Chains A and B, each alone.
Chain A
Amino acid sequence: MPTDFATGLRCRVCGKLYPKGPTNFCTDDFGPLEVDYDYDAIRANISRDKIARRPKSMWRYGELLPVAGVPSVGPQVGGTPLIRADRLADALGVERLWIKNDAVNFPTLSFKDRVVSVALSKAREFGMRTVGCASTGNLANSVAAQAAQAGLETFILVPADLERAKIFGTAVYGAKVIGCTGTYDEVNRLCTQIALKYGWGFVNVNLRPFYAEGSKTMGYEIAEDLGWRFPQHVVCPMAGGALIGKIHKAFTELTRVGLVDQPVTTKMWGAQAAGCNPISDCVKSGRERHKPVRKPTTICKSLAIGDPADGYFAAKLMRDTGGWAEDVTDEEIVDGMLLLARTEGVFAETAGGTTVSVLRKLLEQGRIPRNEEIVICITGNGLKTQDAVFEAIEEPAVIKPTLAEFEALSGSLTAEPVLA
């Protein structure tokens, strides 16, 4: 199994190097820390053949993740399908479209299983017994499930008005769920204070540098499933703004370690909800830094982070790669969910509806050419956000179980009877 090629944690602002440990910011300037690797050593140790012989999970790219050997938490996470989406492509008027479908990720049906697998493997390595997170729901589900598997005590703090399915889907694993009045950003701040005071392993706070690396695996899988090459466009939902950057980082790393022999020219596109659009607003307005949204108002709660810490990096990445960001209304989000479900049989959560509708908008604006290769990232499952589409779905007709009633109801639908 892979060696740990991570050499330390590096400040993304000043470049100062820190030893690997449960810490997430530079003590000189508070800049966020990121895992640093010995890429030359990885290049000498990794190959397409080696990867192909490993199980289809995110850990087949173990050399590029900050864990040594077999991860102790979530060894089966990842390896989700990249679906060629021809019917959705037709509906949107594009030629080549793929869906990276993390709505079926194991174990809790969102891409967050990837980040949590890395974070909790590290938490165990650091000897932590108590873990937790601030979450808009998907992260809560995943931390609760994987901490249960790892035998860790868990505190999950969420905004109190979260979707019920996401609260149930956290509490069921035995996690202590604490609903806080206020926004995600306020909950997140509380977690930062708890992590600093008690030293617990908050996956998105003091374990963040390791956690965020898990997101890269979506990028590795996209490239491998395309035959070790990159698509021309990736459209990605943005909450804290980290995922879009990590997918792009994955592509650049694949080139750097020799697994893909083409430069990265992929344009990165970001999707947000109009009711919480700090990053897309930043890109569209040309500002360098986002303006935080104090009270997000959208049905898309998983993207409702008003003050995204990776907002600056996400906006810069989109500008640097030639991409752009857009945001869509709640109505468009529901339309996007239904379009995806009805063309491809993929029931995505509201973030997926946001991504589909943002792609449509970018196509209509002429920003993404219709004849180029596009991958959209679906990051969570629609079963968790059913409330959002209840009103848009017709109630089923109720009949007595008789042929006569069925025929009366479906008369216009039935074709020629098989037997007269």
Chain B
Amino acid sequence: MAIKVQVPTPMREAAGGNAEVAVAGATVKDALADLVRQYPALGSKLFDGGKVRPYVNIFVNDEDVRYLDDLDTKVTDGVVVALIPAVAGG
């Protein structure tokens, strides 16, 4: 079992058409680095100057990483990392 990254529809083309990609790593940062290593086209969509773009929200097992340790949040095998665009409303 590996860490699974869920890729939202608009990013799938850059992820070889995959809705889910298996990655390895000990933190969210590592996991995303592995994702970009496998699919380099995702790099500029997710990051700007080494920082995650402000409208990309990252969830680890349904918890927003901003409430955890952000990119340093620990991940282990079986964990699901979801990438979801920020949206508003009310």
Residues of A within 8 A of B (CB): 13, 23-25, 27-32, 133-136, 138-139, 184-186, 188-189, 191-193, 196-197, 203-205, 208, 239-242, 289, 291-292, 294, 302-303, 305, 307-310, 312
Do B89 and A205 touch (CB < 8 A)?
yes
B44 CB within 8 Å of chain A: yes
- B residues 53-87 with Cβ under 8 Å of A? 53-57, 59, 62, 64, 66-67, 84-87
Do B89 and A208 touch (CB < 8 A)?
yes
Q: Which residue of A lies closest to B59 (CB)?
A: A189
Q: How many A-B residue pairs have CB under 8 A?
A: 95
Contacts A25-B10, A27-B11, A30-B45; A309 near B87 (Cβ below 8 A): yes
User: Among the listed A27, A29, A186, A188, which residue makes an inter-chain contact with B89, where contact means beta carbons less than 8 Å apart?
Assistant: A188
Expressed in whole angstroms, the Cα–Cα distance for A195 and B8 within the complex equals: 11
Chain A residues lying within 8 Å of B8, measured Cβ to Cβ, are 196
- Min distance, Cβ B50 to any Cβ of chain A, angstroms: 14
Do B90 and A27 touch (CB < 8 A)?
no
Can you identify 27 A-B contacts, CB atoms within 8 angstroms? Answer: A13-B55, A24-B85, A25-B85, A29-B44, A30-B86, A32-B55, A139-B89, A188-B88, A189-B57, A196-B10, A204-B87, A204-B88, A204-B89, A205-B89, A208-B87, A239-B90, A240-B88, A240-B89, A240-B90, A241-B88, A291-B66, A302-B90, A305-B89, A305-B90, A308-B88, A309-B55, A309-B88
- B residues 1-37 with Cβ under 8 Å of A? 8-11
Seed contacts A188-B87, A239-B90; 5 additional CB < 8 Å A-B pairs:
A24-B87, A30-B85, A305-B89, A309-B55, A309-B87
Q: Which residue of B lies closest to A136 (CB)?
A: B90
Do B88 and A29 touch (CB < 8 A)?
no
Q: Which residue of B lies closest to A311 (CB)?
A: B88
Do A294 and B88 touch (CB < 8 A)?
no
Main secondary structure of the interface of A (DSSP, over half): loop
Q: Which residue of A lies closest to B14 (CB)?
A: A27
Expressed in whole angstroms, the Cα–Cα distance for A27 and B10 within the complex equals: 6
Chain B residues lying within 8 Å of A13, measured Cβ to Cβ, are 54-55
Chain A residues lying within 8 Å of B56, measured Cβ to Cβ, are 30
Do A133 and B89 touch (CB < 8 A)?
yes
Expressed in whole angstroms, the Cα–Cα distance for A83 and B59 within the complex equals: 45
Expressed in whole angstroms, the Cα–Cα distance for A289 and B57 within the complex equals: 14
Expressed in whole angstroms, the Cα–Cα distance for A186 and B85 within the complex equals: 13
Contacts A27-B11, A28-B44; A310 near B88 (Cβ below 8 A): yes
Do B67 and A135 touch (CB < 8 A)?
no
Contacts A196-B9, A292-B66; A29 near B86 (Cβ below 8 A): no
Do B88 and A139 touch (CB < 8 A)?
no
Expressed in whole angstroms, the Cα–Cα distance for A191 and B84 within the complex equals: 11
User: Among the listed A28, A186, A208, A289, which residue makes an inter-chain contact with B88, where contact means beta carbons less than 8 Å apart?
Assistant: A208
- Min distance, Cβ A307 to any Cβ of chain B, angstroms: 7
Chain B residues lying within 8 Å of A191, measured Cβ to Cβ, are 87
User: Among the listed A25, A205, A307, A308, which residue makes an inter-chain contact with B64, where contact means beta carbons less than 8 Å apart?
Assistant: A307
Q: Which residue of B lies closest to A238 (CB)?
A: B90
Chain A residues lying within 8 Å of B84, measured Cβ to Cβ, are 189, 192-193
Do B89 and A135 touch (CB < 8 A)?
yes
Chain B residues lying within 8 Å of A302, measured Cβ to Cβ, are 90
User: Among the listed A28, A139, A240, which residue makes an inter-chain contact with B45, where contact means beta carbons less than 8 Å apart?
Assistant: A28
Which 8 pairs show the lowest CB-CB distances between chains A and B?
A204-B89, A309-B88, A240-B88, A239-B90, A30-B55, A27-B10, A25-B85, A30-B85
